[in-house]
Structure 1
Amino acid sequence: MESVRFTNRNRTWDMAADLRLPKDFDPAKKYPAIICAHPISSCKQQTAGSIYAERLTELGYVTLAFDASHQGGSGGEPRHLEDPATRVEDFRCAVDHLVTLDYVDEDRIGCLGVCGGGGYAVSATMTEHRIKALVAVVAANYGRLMREGDLSAGAAIATLEAIGAQRTAEARGADPVITTYIPTSEEERKKAGIDDVDVVEAVDYYTTPRGQHPNSPDKLRFSGLAAAVGFDAFHLAERLLTQPLLVVGCDTPGSFGSHRDAYEIFDRAASEKKELFIVPDSTHYDLYDGSKYVDQAFEKITPFFAGNL
């Protein structure tokens, strides 16, 4: 594995990525390559890189797992920003980097995204047709989650009004509000009375040795969330998402909505070659690092990329 940096050309900063080369790599040959995108609040060292990119590299692919702009080891100010337009542009810049590598076959570039990274991968692939095949693993539509995370009437509008008030305060000199995606500990989760399966397992993954990493600090800039509230990762999929598509979903619904989103993106995609696989008896986070569930996912992923790249 090699740590690399490449320029986000439309945003003027560098992206941090881990480039993995297959065993017995020969620079004189041409290899298919796969971009691996991490979940929201995550980083390249977690599931997208350490699980999926690693497995794909073992199958013979060049893989590129990158940190999102404003997060992890990548550049971008302000920090801890979750901006959908920039997240989508990150994918295009990842392709830009891969096509400069002599050993990458530019006609065999694929993409795999996990959770929010899967949602962003769907959005990016619609308008980035240098990506020839897409795997969306427990893909979550972050904009939908922002609008529906609180099901009370008018919650999205109230959130937008609060964001506007905070932007006004910051414009007048106030410090930014840095919030969190999830409770910061099991104790905090229990105190809040949250027992949803996705949140319970998110806390277990991100706040314990199971998955925690210093480049995934669970920090979110509140005043930058307005764009996310208005974002739809699946907008125009029925017209623009035509590449071969494999959707891998979990079997257990939770508040992040990836179970529901799996069916939606599969139904809406214009792809002539598309497949939906719901991993039996799995939760959202089982598909992050649960070996028996990831193994089942790769029973579909392996032939999918082999047949489409």
Structure 2
Amino acid sequence: MKEVKFKHKTWEVAAIIQFPKDFDQTKTYPAIVCGHPISSCKDQTAGNIYGKALAEAGFITLAFDASHQGESGGEPRFLEDPATRVEDFRCAADYLTTLSYVDKNRIGVLGICGGGGYAVNAAMTERRFKAVATVVAANYGRLMREGDLTPGAAIKTLEAIAAQRSAEANGGEPFVTNYIPVNEEARKQAGINDIDIVEAVDYYTTPRGQKACSPNKLLFSGLAAAVGFDAFHLAEHLLTQPLHIVIGEKTGAFGSHRDGFELFNKAASAKKTIQIVAGASHYDLYDQPEPTGKALEQLIPFFKEYLS
């Protein structure tokens, strides 16, 4: 494993590149860009689980912190901007083409959760990605629009964002909120019992998955673009690469189960498959050995076939 940085506009993106066993820099290898979930970072599931396993299977893997987040540059901090997140993937492909040991015609992309939605969106217009895979991919725009499922939730959110932007434009302090409850006690006090939220708190706020570059902070005034984003828009026209989708059998508030089927049905890919991991939840497929092992049993052959 090696820590690297690559360029995005005027700042640098922090990443980790991992190599196959017996790596020989005089040879060329297929490569896979690994995109992390919303609120996550390169040192969690994207790099430490999937990036690591795919490197062990013979691929160069590149996992990066999203711009404005983690150890990557970009101001303001804690911004979750879909256009920038999608461009991160293109910049990652740019970087891989500069490495002599990467076969420029054998680059794939894998995204987890919201990173899966971004990976798909990027692949529609990034033809250097020859194969696309997702694990519990979620359409972040759809999730933002649904909000708490009350009528007009999206409009209420946009009104609140507008008011906060006006306040900040007139000298007010930026409002940095949280993606999820800050700990288990806060979750219980809020009365939130959905499986995805329960397991998100367990993953992100305990030693199970907690990392310093994933601080559970979100710039509220920057969310308007996310409300209007659709990760799968035009997939029926532009997503033509081989596609493999992994979802869990258990369903939760983040909606990755239904998003997986929507993506499968919309994609123009002539070669596409969907894998439902029995008994697995959204967060089981982040780091639990048996579910992630089941996912990798199909992800590795998929990438070997289409990046051969």
TM range (shorter): over 0.9
| Counterpart position of 1:213 | 211
In the other structure, the counterpart of 2:251 is 253
The equivalences for 1:21-60 within 5 A come to: 21-60=19-58
Q: What amino acid is aligned across from residue 294 of structure 1 in structure 2?
A: T
Partner of 2:291: 293
Q: CA RMSD in A?
A: 0.5
- 1:280 partner letter: A
Q: 1:174 and 2:192 equivalent?
A: no
Residue 221 (structure 2) aligns with: 223
Contact conserved, 1:182 with 1:199, CA < 8 A, in 2? Answer: yes
Specify the alignment match of 2:2 in structure 1: 2
1:74 counterpart residue number: 72
Does the residue aligned with 1:132 lie in a helix, a strand or coil?
strand
Give the whole-Å Cα distance in 2 for the aligned partners of 1:297 and 1:138.
10
SS in 1 for 2:109: strand
- The CA deviation at 1:149 is 2.4
Q: Which residue in 1 is equivalent to 2:128? A: 130
Rounded to whole Å, the distance in 2 between the matches of 1:150 and 1:124 is 28
Whole-Å separation in 2 of the counterparts to 1:56 and 1:149: 35
- The code of the aligned residue for 1:160 comes to L
Structure 2 Cα separation of the partners of residues 298 and 123 of structure 1: 22
Q: Kindly provide the amino acid, as one letter, of the partner of residue 40 in structure 2.
A: S
Residue type of the partner of 1:305?
F
Alignment of 1:150 onto 2:148: yes
* Rounded Cα–Cα distance in structure 1 between residues aligned with 2:256 and 2:144: 13
Which deviations, in whole Å up to 9, do the C-alpha atoms of 1:4-52 show, x marking residues without a partner?
Answer: 01101xx211000001111111111110000001000000000000000
Residues 33 and 110 in structure 1, CA contact (< 8 A), matched pair in contact too: yes
Alignment partner of 1:237 is 2:259: no
TM-score by length of 1: 0.99
Q: How far off is 1:302 after superposition?
A: 1.4
Give the C-alpha shift of residue 253 in structure 1.
1.0
5+ residue gaps in structure 1? none
Amino acid of the structure 2 residue aligned with 1:116: G
Runs of 4+, deviation exceeding 6 Å: none
**Equivalent position amino acid for 2:147 in 1:** G
Q: Secondary structure at the match of 1:65?
A: strand
Name the amino acid aligned to 2:217.
Answer: K
Alignment of 1:251-290 (within 5 A): 251-290=249-288
SS at match of 2:12: strand
What stretches of structure 2 of length at least 5 have no aligned partner?
A: none
Q: C-alpha offsets along residues 83-136 of structure 1, whole Å, 9 cap, x if unaligned? A: 000000000000000000011000000011100000100100000010000111
TM-score normalised by L of structure 2: 0.99
Q: Distance in 2 between matches of 1:4 and 1:166?
A: 36
Distance 2:242 2:83 in 1: 23
Select 1:103's aligned residue among 101, 104, 108. Answer: 101
Contact 1:43–1:216 at 8 Å: present in 2 too? yes
Deviation at 1:155, TM superposition (A): 0.8
SS of the equivalent of 1:19 reads: strand
Q: Deviations over 1:263-309 (max 9, x none)?
A: 00000000000000010011000000010001110111111011000
How many residue pairs get matched? 307
Q: What are the superposed Cα offsets for residues 217-238 of structure 1, whole Å, 9 maximum, x if unpaired?
A: 0000000000000000000000
